[in-house]
Homo-oligomer: A and B are copies of this chain.
Amino acid sequence: MLKDNIVIVGCGRLGANLANAMSDDGKSVVVIDSNKESFRKLSPSYGGLTITGDAMELSVLAEAEIENAGAVVTVTNNDNTNIMVAQLAKELFHINEVVARLYDPDRECVYQEFGIRTICPAVLSTKEIDKLLDVWDGDEAV
CB distance from A60 to the nearest CB of B (A): 21
Q: How many residues of A sit at the interface, in one of the four size bands?
A: 35 or more
**A96 to chain B: which residues have CB within 8 Å?**
136, 140, 142
Partner of A117, one of B18, B99, B132, B137: B132
Judge if A47 is at the interface, Cβ distance under 8 Å.
Answer: no
Copies in the complex: 2
Residues of A at the B interface (CB closer than 8 Å) are: 1, 6, 13-14, 17-18, 21-22, 71, 73, 75, 96-97, 99, 101, 103-105, 115, 117, 119, 121-126, 128-130, 132-133, 136-137, 140, 142
**A115 to chain B: which residues have CB within 8 Å?**
142
**Are B13 and A132 in touch, CB under 8 angstroms?**
no
With A1-B133, A96-B136, A133-B99: A124-B124 Cβ-Cβ less than 8 Å:
yes
How far, in angstroms, from A75 to B124 measured CA to CA in the complex?
A: 14
6 contacts between A and B (CB under 8 A): A13-B122, A14-B122, A14-B126, A71-B136, A96-B136, A121-B121
